[in-house]
Chains A and B, each alone.
Chain A
Amino acid sequence: MNEHAEWLRAELPVLLREGVIDAATAERLGRRYAVAEAAAGAATHDAVGVLPAVSQPVSRALVICAVLGAGLIGLGLIQIIAHDWDQWSKPQRLALAFGPLLALQALGAWVLRARAASRAWGEGVATALALVGAGALALVGQIYHFPGELDAYALAVALLALPLVYVFDSAAAAALVLLGYTAWLLLMTGLPWLPLRYLALLATLVPFSWGLLRDGGASWRANLLGSVLAACLTVAVTASSLGGDPRLLLRLALLASIFVLAASARSGDGRGPLWRYGRHGGALLVLAATWRELWSVGHAVWRPGIEGLGLQGWLTIEALAWLALLVLVLRRRQMMSVEWWLLVALPVAFWVGTQVALGGQRETAALLFDGYALALGIATIRSGLAANELAALNRGLAIVSALILMRFFDSNLPFLVRGLAFIAVGAAFLGANVWLRRRRT
């Protein structure tokens, strides 16, 4: 076994250089045989002998350090160069603006040639190139006194970094591109058909994301991109929605529920960033909806940002996506927890709440969600107890505690009563944790 693995390790760089296999395949083969060797008790190396392929957490730390280190070095160089700008002539300033960029581009070519299968090198050089490219553009703008067109800058920087995502298979660069797209969206609020333009931009990352999920759906790289995507989508939905209209809550509820369904469709076991975002976001939304003032519909203003399709159009699309994912998951006939069902049914609850609030019954809408939050908290506690999982138990306790505390803040009870209530809630929290820990041991 070891002899064959040794041969493969020597052959992989050659096969990669000649284009017989791509970097992803080389890495998978290297990991596959590195794992086999470790099981046999031999020392291991990865596919091209670049990194000692020890456990996943150490490789991840190396990549993160490579990315951060490269990015900071690149930006630091630019800061140092720009410090005493006035002493330099224009040609000198331009040369110094382009110097780090050219050097990194040469490094990028070397990485592609000699270290194509190395995750650390790929992520590091892609991130550094994206950041230094942005820095060079900013310095040129400074030399010629460009006006502060941040939207054009954000979009240009994101699009310039996009090829780097595919060249170096870089999740960090993809996250930067995603942040650039979202910054552009925020700065262009009011542009006609803005959501569609944003979706078209997101589509440029679909092939990369698909490859990431296919090759290692539970990897930290997929989690990183998933986390950034979930955050960016939440910002995008909020930025493109009406101000002061409870239908914003309905859109956010749909988004949280779609995250939960998408996570279930992918893995079914409730892991990954989409599941976490859906779960936490859903719980926060439900708790926020218990606040009466949130249902105020006094000053809804139609913002031009969602012209063309309109709010109703977008709600319809999002509702259809939710329904499609629900059908997909239910077809698996898997038993889902009550917590899961309550998160998935969020849009229905918010639709009911919206109709009630638009009918002038703010108090009733908030009361509905008092009950919903309590049910979600109890269901989460039950899930935690059933699975013997401390995190789920604490999550459920946190929901119930937050609900109780919010109602106490709303009320006019004396401080003494409130103080005692807070102590009781805290004691219940601690007691439940101690009890579960003892039960596990």
Chain B
Amino acid sequence: MTMRLRWGLLALAIVAQLALPLRYIWRGEQALAQGTPYRLATAPVDPYDPFRGRYVALNFRDFPRISSSRPGEVWYLPIAAGAEGYAQFGAPSRERPASGDYLRLRAQWFQRGWVPPPFDRYYLDESLAPQAERAYRALSRRRPANGEAAPEPIRAELAIRVRDGYAVPEMLYLDGLPVRDYLAAQRDEGSP
């Protein structure tokens, strides 16, 4: 291989190694700056999720369960703001919606049988993630006291921004506070 060709390949490798993460950054920043905001009420997570660690694993109450038989299969899920800004989902489809916001979803092998949401984790500092996850689970599981029939209040929710099918988690809220503020308040109160 000539030196000229090697220099050309090195330039290609450098450009590709920078371009791919920059593309993700651009898309994320565009979604955060110009995307439509939505909120999703969270649900408890399987405690045996093997990928816990430096992030809070997320699950959602009202996210539709979409069956898929093949990994890599792409689905489109219309999304619109419902009551109090919480997301409402339309019927999933293999075709991109002609108008309105939507989420682009992809079936994956280890979740064979259904298509997961495109935001299944919220990364935190390794020292905060375990506390946040405990709080998240406790608040996602809360039931009305004394056998009341009232609907379960939402105390843990994820704010996202959606643009061109791409969704970026903006903030995880616990009891109405951003997660870091919630944990700081818990520490100040001396809670475990």
A: residues with CB less than 8 A from B are: 16-17, 19, 22-24, 83-86, 94, 97-98, 101, 105, 108-109, 112, 116, 129, 133, 136-137, 140-152, 156, 159-160, 163-164, 166-167, 169, 186-192, 304
Contact = CB atoms under 8 A, between A and B. Distances in A.
14 contacts: A19-B4, A22-B3, A24-B1, A101-B17, A108-B10, A108-B14, A112-B3, A137-B24, A142-B55, A144-B24, A147-B117, A159-B16, A189-B109, A304-B70
Contacts of B2: 19, 22
Nearest to A156: B20
B21 A188 contact: no
Given A140-B24, A147-B116, A166 B70 contact: no
Contact of B12 (A156, A163, A190): A163
Contact of B17 (A17, A94, A136, A146): A136
Nearest to B118: A147
Contacts of B126: 83, 85
Which 7 interchain pairs have the tightest Cβ spacing? A86-B125, A163-B13, A144-B28, A19-B3, A145-B169, A140-B21, A163-B9
B108 interface: yes
Nearest to B125: A86
Nearest to B166: A144
B86 to A, nearest CB: 19
A190 B71 contact: yes
Contacts of B169: 144-145
Contact of B122 (A101, A133, A145): A145
A345 to B, nearest CB: 37
Nearest to B109: A187
A167 B13 contact: yes
B162 interface: no
B70 A190 contact: yes
A190 B109 contact: yes
A167 B54 CA distance: 36
Nearest to B112: A190
Contacts of A186: 109
B109 A151 contact: yes
Contacts of B7: 112
Contacts of B118: 147
B141 interface: no
A86 B125 CA distance: 5
B14 A136 contact: no
Contacts of A19: 2-4
B94 to A, nearest CB: 15
B1 A85 contact: no
B180 interface: yes
Interface string B110-142: 101000111111111111100000000000000
B6 A166 contact: yes
A145 to B, nearest CB: 4
B71 A188 contact: yes
B125 A147 contact: no
B96 interface: no
B16 to A, nearest CB: 5
Nearest to A97: B21
B121 A147 contact: yes
B9 A166 contact: yes
Q: Which of A109, A145, A166, A304 has the most CB of B within 10 A?
A: A145
Contact of A187 (B110, B123, B168): B110
A149 B9 contact: no
Contacts of B17: 101, 105, 129, 133, 136, 160
Given A163-B16, A190-B69, A86 B110 contact: no
B11 to A, nearest CB: 9
Contact of B9 (A129, A167, A188, A191): A167
A101 B19 CA distance: 12
Given A136-B17, A160-B20, A149 B12 contact: no
Nearest to A140: B21
